[in-house]
Structure formats: structure tokens, C-alpha cells
Amino acid sequence: MTTLDLILRNAVLPDGRTGLDIGVKDGRIAALERSLPASARREIDVGGCLVSPPFVDAHFHMDSTLSLGQPRLNQSGTLLEGIALWGELKPHLTQAALVERALRYCDWAVGRGLLAIRSHVDICDPRLLAVEALLQVKRTVAPYLDLQLVAFPQDGYLRSPDAVALLDRALEMGVDVVGGIPHFERTMADGADSVRRLCALATERGALVDMHCDESDDPLSRHVETLAAETVRHGLHGRVTGSHLTSMHSMDNYYASKLLDLMAEAQLNVVANPLINITLQGRHDTYPKRRGMTRVKEQMARGLTVAFGQDCVMDPWYPLGSGDMLDVAAMGLHVAQMTGVAEIGACFQAVTANAARILQLERYGLDIGCHADLVVLQASDPAEAIRLRATRLYVLRRGRIVAQAPKAEATLDLPGRATTTVDWRL
Ligand SMILES: [Zn+2]
């Protein structure tokens, strides 16, 4: 009989399988079966709770997180005031403050079972202070969190002086992914040119691509078309991600159907950021107000890999958030009207497996041989996890418990009734 390091007994998996025991050895999943006939140094009966691979955030800004109020609050709450505010803060950033805020956020993330994050990092700063800081954070957190960095020209790749050279330098320093922001260039033509140049650069360097793309309500914004076409031209299928794509919400339906075919041909990945899209888009509308989130349901139906990202937590663009990807999934589900049974499951995938595929994480999942990176949730299934923003009872990284929390429950002492406990599960 094998001795394992740890066994989680009586787990429910996100795909609906129940009563499973998960055996962990040397940081990997070594066994997955009912009534596992093995012993372990430690056994935890999870009592029919959901055990999931960790949450993955496919779109975040760790250089700005937790900077809310510095140097002032965003009075209008708009995207453009947010960008202006970030521009005011940038010259005053220090590496120590950046590192401290990022590490604090990583602690929040681990406590929520969020163990992999793709963060864009602004390279439009001649000092590249944020790049240096986040590369340091990436090394520091590596034992417990995968941090993937995107070289992001916030002020425009062609519009911002020196951004072309700075983006090259950021990649040389070790940033993983090529970013972009074509809709923020001076003209539509410049935007398309930036997409072409950045895709060529990624091809040359063998890098993944993830661009902020068409984050506007303009139904005629066409950068996602260029991004998909360049992906096909360079043979970058499956390696390119379009983040936001909010203009697709407003596009003419006939054009959108043609575009979806092209995106499918390119195997373009999509990241929607529901919390941010629902608050920042449609700001010029009176009523009815557009929701501004991209066409998640149709993209999923077309076979594209679609993830939901957090984008911002307590920064110039968004004063809320806590690193809880279940909050993100809940908002995505509502905004996309995905309340069907399979659709709710798909929204859970959008903050776990789909995001992991976009980041190209290795050994992610619940198969034997995968990393024993696991989250035990106080819920019976993914729908309940989303509904309750379920407590993360245990968070495991490489088989080691890195966070745990007591069950969420309340003791009721009601007049005329015996004392009872309520835990909100059905
Ligand atoms: Zn973003």
C-alpha cells in the first residue's frame, strides 16, 4: 500500500463527479478514485465539498492595484479620468511601494484560492520602475503563485514617445507576453499599424500576445479584426488573446457574425472583464444603456476559449474588489445572461480552466500528474460556489496547505425556537 502525503476524501469535482478521494504525493496529484485504498500522513474529509483547481485571473493590473486615492480619487469614475489619474501617479511611484502593494494583493489572492495571475505592466515610463518591481514580485511569489507579465504600453505603442524601445527593453528584462492598446493610438490606421508591428515582434521572439483591444463603445472599432487576421498571417493560432473587445457588444450583428468566423479561424482567445466593462462602458449613453461586455455567449458557442478577468482592484479605474474570482464569475454570468445550467458551469470554467489555457499553465487541472494546486470550497457544486462566493476552506499549492479559513455559518438564537446553525447551502 502506497503512503501518500495527503488525501482529500469525499470530494465533488467541478465536472459533477462525486465521492472522490484525491491522493497527493510530492506536490502532484497521484490518485483520484472512490474509496482510495491508501494511507497518508494527513487525511482531510472534505464532506462532499467542491474541490477545484485554483482560480486563475487572465487579466489584471498589479502595478496599479491597491493604489486607490493616490494621488486623488477618480471623481467621474470614467476610464479616461482613470488613465489621466494613473499618469499623475506614475512619476511619483517608488519601487518599494509598488512591491509592497503587489505582495499585499498576492496575499489576498492566495487567501481566495487565486494562484495564477496574468498582469499587464505599464512600460510607458523611462525608468521602467513597475517592470522591475513586478519582476521582483514574480520571483518572490513563485513558490505560491504564478505571475505572468504582459508588456503593456498604456499610453499607446506608437503614440507614446519611446514606447517602442521601452517595450523591447521590458521583454529583454524578462516580461513574458507582448501587449498593446490599439484603440488608444491616435487614429484607427495607427491602431492597426501597432497591431501589425506587435504581432510581428511576438512572432520574432516566440512570445504570446495579449492586447487591450477595442475597449470602447464604438461599433466601428475594428482592431480585433486586424488582431485575428495578423494571428492567422503569422501562424500564431491559439497564442493570441484579445482583452476586453467591448466594441463587439455594439457592432452590427451581420458584421459580428463574420468576425466570429475569423476569430475562430485564428483560435483567438478572449478575456472579458465583467466588473470593469459593466461600470466603464456605455458612459456616453443615456437610456437604454449598453452593458458593454463582449459577446461571451456567442464566442463560447463558436468554440473560442473565453476567460473572465478581474482587471482592477482598488486603483484609479475601480474602487472595489478583493481578488475574489467568484465575484468576477457572478458578474459575468449576470451581464451575459448565462443562467442556464451548462452556462453557469461555463462561467466557473471562465475563471479556472479557460483562464489556465490562455496562460498556457502546465500541469493545471485534476488529472493524475497535475500539480496538487487545489481549492476546497464550502459549496456542493460550481453554481453554489458562485452564488455564495463560497468560503475557501483550504487552498493547496504543490500539495501544501497555504491558506485555510473557518466555515462561514451563523448561529441563530430566535425567540420561540431552538438554537440553530445556518450555512446558506441548499
Ligand atoms: Zn486591463
Q: Are 183 and 136 in contact (CB under 8 A)?
A: no
Confidence of residue 83 (pLDDT cuts 50, 70, 90): confident
Q: How far is the CA of 59 from the centre of ligand 1 (A)?
A: 6
| Strands 146-152, 177-178: pairing kind | parallel
Residue 292 clears pLDDT 90, i.e. is over it: yes
Cα separation, 157 vs 165, whole angstroms:
9
Cα separation, 111 vs 125, whole angstroms:
32
The residue with greater pLDDT, 83 or 187, is: 187
Q: How far is the CA of 131 from the centre of ligand 1 (A)?
A: 16
- From the list 303, 306, 305, the residue with the least C-alpha distance to 293 is 306
Continuous segment of H or E residues that includes residue 42: strand 39-45
| Count of other CB atoms within 10 angstroms of residue 2 | 12
| Strands 269-272, 240-244: pairing kind | parallel
Q: How far is the CA of 340 from the centre of ligand 1 (A)?
A: 28
- From the list 265, 286, 248, 310, the residue with the least C-alpha distance to 117 is 310
Q: Are 402 and 114 in contact (CB under 8 A)?
A: no
**Averaged over 364-373, what is the pLDDT?**
98
Angle at 55 between CA 362 and CA 276, to 5 degrees: 120
Cα separation, 394 vs 375, whole angstroms:
6
DSSP 407: P
Q: Which of 132, 172, 215, 298 is catalytic?
A: 215
Q: Are 131 and 173 in contact (CB under 8 A)?
A: yes
Q: At what angle are helices 253-266 and 223-234 packed, to 10 degrees?
A: 30
**DSSP assignment of 116-155:** EEEEEEE--STT-HHHHHHHHHHHHHTTT-EEEEEEE-TT
pLDDT one-digit tens code per residue, 172-208: 999 999 999 999 999 999 999 999 999 999 999 999 9
Burial class (CB in 10 A: 0-12, 13-18, 19+), 151: buried
- How much of the chain is helix, strand and coil, in % rounded to 5? 35, 25, 40
- Is 215 considered catalytic here? yes
Q: How far is the CA of 273 from the centre of ligand 1 (A)?
A: 8
Cell of 290: 449598453
Q: How far is the CA of 271 from the centre of ligand 1 (A)?
A: 10
pTM exceeds 0.95, yes or no: yes
pLDDT one-digit tens code per residue, 221-245: 999 999 999 999 999 999 999 999 9
Cα separation, 351 vs 374, whole angstroms:
14
Burial code (b: 16+ CB inside 10 Å, e: under 16) for 189-218 equals: ebbbbbbbbbbebbbeeebbbbbbbbbbbe
Q: How far is the CA of 154 from the centre of ligand 1 (A)?
A: 9
Cα separation, 132 vs 309, whole angstroms:
24
Taking a 5 Å cut-off on Cβ, the residues next to ion ligand 1 are 311
Angle at 390 between CA 100 and CA 384, to 5 degrees: 145
pLDDT one-digit tens code per residue, 23-82: 999 999 999 999 999 999 999 999 999 999 999 999 999 999 999 999 899 999 888 898
pLDDT one-digit tens code per residue, 304-356: 999 999 999 999 999 999 999 999 999 999 999 999 999 999 999 999 999 99
Continuous segment of H or E residues that includes residue 202: helix 188-205
Q: How far is the CA of 310 from the centre of ligand 1 (A)?
A: 9
Average confidence score pLDDT of the chain:
97
Residue 426 clears pLDDT 90, i.e. is over it: no
Confidence of residue 1 (pLDDT cuts 50, 70, 90): low
Q: What are phi and psi of 12, to 5 degrees?
A: -105, 135
| Strands 3-11, 20-25: pairing kind | antiparallel
Q: What percent of the chain has pLDDT over 70?
A: 100
Confidence of residue 90 (pLDDT cuts 50, 70, 90): confident
Whether cis (ω within 30° of 0) applies to the bond prior to 274 is: no
Q: How far is CA 214 from CA 63, 405, 420, in A?
A: 22, 40, 52
